[in-house]
């Protein structure tokens, strides 16, 4: 009788390990998938930048530094290897895109330009998608981190090297209100 109880306990423990391990794998894959969605939306944003920059360039020659910096950040993002590096480049671009669109508002001819209006509409739609994708990513990270840190799953997570994922944070550049100065 004691043998059956011991075998039953071992089987229950093995069942718990399998279920918990599979749940952690599912949540980790959800985090990877949601980051992939963020990455796709950010790539769309970066693909839009050259067209937007070229359209604005003729009207806002004195904003050459902002336009050059946007182009550099696009290259930085494309060559980034880690999620953290991509998040950093994305944060800087968000602030610069806002500044660029505010500068463009000061040029009546540009505001009436069909190309610019279309690109501005596309930029606005992409920024909305970026916000939603970031939110979905952070929700997936929260679910995964909570599962991996909760007792007793944290014991299994530690044994199988399930590490915490980083949330997508807004950096100071994106939080600040862009300042437009004409010199």
Domains in the chain: how many in total?
Answer: 1
Q: In this structure, is residue 57 part of a structural domain? A: yes
What pLDDT does 180 receive?
40
Tens-place pLDDT, residues 80-114: 888 888 888 888 877 777 777 777 777 777 766 77
Residue 182 lies in a domain: no
Q: In the prediction, which pLDDT does 27 show?
A: 97
CATH number of the domain bearing residue 137: 1.20.1440.20
Determine the Cα–Cα distance for residues 160 and 179; give it in Å rounded to an integer. 48
Angstrom distance (rounded) from CA 58 to CA 55: 7
Tell me, yes or no, whether 59 lies in a domain.
yes
pTM: 0.74
> What tokens does 43 get?
């790539």
Residues of the chain predicted below pLDDT 50: 177-183
Any domain includes 79: yes
With respect to residue 67, please indicate whether it lies within any of the assigned structural domains: yes
Q: Report the pLDDT value the prediction gives residue 12, as an integer from 0 to 100.
A: 95
Residue 177 is predicted with a pLDDT of 44
Whether 163 maps to a domain, the answer reads: yes
Expressed as residue numbers, the domain containing 52 is 2-175
The answer to whether residue 144 sits within a structural domain is yes
Q: How many Cα atoms within 13 Å fall on the side-chain side of residue 85?
A: 10
Question: Smallest Cα–Cα separation from 171: which of 88, 112, 97, 104?
Answer: 88
Residue 182: the pLDDT is: 39
For residue 180, being part of any structural domain is answered with: no
């Amino acid at each position: 009788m004691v043998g059956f109880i011991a075998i039953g306990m071992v089987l229950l423990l093995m069942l718990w390990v399998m279920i918990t391990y599979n749940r952690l794998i599912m949540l980790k894959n959800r985090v990877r998938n949601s980051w992939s969605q963020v990455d796709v939306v950010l790539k769309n944003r970066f693909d839009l930048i050259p067209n937007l920059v070229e359209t604005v360039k003729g009207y806002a020659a004195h904003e050459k530094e902002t336009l050059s910096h946007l182009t550099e950040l696009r290259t930085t993002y494309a060559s980034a290897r880690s999620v953290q590096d991509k998040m950093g480049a994305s944060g800087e671009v968000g602030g610069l895109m806002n500044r660029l669109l505010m500068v463009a508002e000061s040029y009546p001819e540009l505001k009436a330009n069909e190309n610019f209006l279309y690109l501005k509409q596309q930029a606005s739609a992409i920024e909305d998608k970026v916000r939603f994708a970031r939110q979905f990513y952070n929700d997936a990270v929260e679910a995964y981190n909570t599962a991996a840190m909760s007792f007793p799953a944290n014991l299994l997570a530690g044994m199988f090297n399930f590490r915490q994922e980083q949330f997508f944070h807004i950096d100071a550049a994106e939080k600040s209100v862009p300042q437009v100065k004409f010199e």
